[in-house]
Structure 1
Amino acid sequence: MGMATGVSICSNALLMLGAQTINSLDDPLDRAKICSNLYPTVRDDLLRSHPWNCTIKRVLLAPDADAPAFGYSSKFELPSDFLRVLEVTDNGVFIDYLLEGRSILADSSSLQLRYVYRNEVENTWDAGLVMLLTLAMAAAIAYPITQSASVQANMEQKLSMAKKVARSIDGQEEPAQTLGDERLYGARLGGFS
């Protein structure tokens, strides 16, 4: 697969619909304007929908100078590229927190945040995610481009099936994670003492 870009993803989505490609999202063509309007929203929605390996970041957050009015002792501003919380810990320990607006509220002096970020560099993505966004764009632009509800329904069905496969493959790349105390589990099975 070549270098993926927003333009190449949109062009491939247009090809799937039998339309001509575009050279830029700024082209004065109607199909480029449709792609330009929908692409950021479709991309962000797809990235937020699953913790894709190529869209995960870790940061250490320091509290804001202004504490919340009540309920928690500290407020932490979310990164500008934030899309979804995966984990909030303090020194590796999961803590109680509340996501409120563009902030995390917690009773902590610092936070370790693992999150899904807005990765706008498509050529760093897995090939499956590039194809999935291509299908998502094809589904989103199907009716405006073709004026056919059946083409749109067909693209949405293809997208639904492709999401299942892509999520499964992406999830297989991570090691299995344990839940809870393994010693307790082992003792129940008679393995640990």
Structure 2
Amino acid sequence: MKKFALALSFLSLPFALAPALTSCNTEPDYIKQQRKVEEEQKKNDDVLIQGYLTRNNIKTYNRLPSGVYVLPVTEGNPNDPLIKAGNKVTTNYVVKYIIETIQGQTLTSSSVNHSACGCYSFFANQATTDAPIGLQEAILTMRKGDRKQVIIPSPLLGTGTNLTSYYQNAAPYNPLLFDIEILDVQQQ
């Protein structure tokens, strides 16, 4: 009988430990809630972006998996390589609103950064950069000489140090349009 009780206790052990083991792999409720809010915001932003595309009769664009839209304006030399992570990228850009009530209003541009060239340089796809997350993704689809409009959903705008000052006056929870031209690409 003791052997049976011992065997039964070993068989019940996985059931007793399951809650303890699975609780190690669960996210806190606030993380789940944050993720849910972000997903809802991406859906809302996509409706705003589709409205912008429809109002402006834009049919040529590439929607990246993250929800970033890339609209071609001018193509660079197709023989030039695409930008790779770690490349130093020099750009001219203008950031505008796309929501109907304030569509086209400029939020910021590279010309306001007081650099000698009126341009902005950053390292492609590096977490330490002040370029928005969505722009980091889009930039890897571009090459020197390209000019594209990149529409970034609000959850992908990021919060880099310069971004915080640029976007503190932005209407909250709105996708933004970056009209960006690649002036130079340097391999690192």
* TM-score normalised by the chain length of structure 1: 0.22
Q: Answer 1 or 2: higher relative contact order, Cα 8 Å, separation at least 6.
A: 2
Q: Work out which of the two has the higher radius of gyration on C-alpha atoms and give 1 or 2.
A: 2
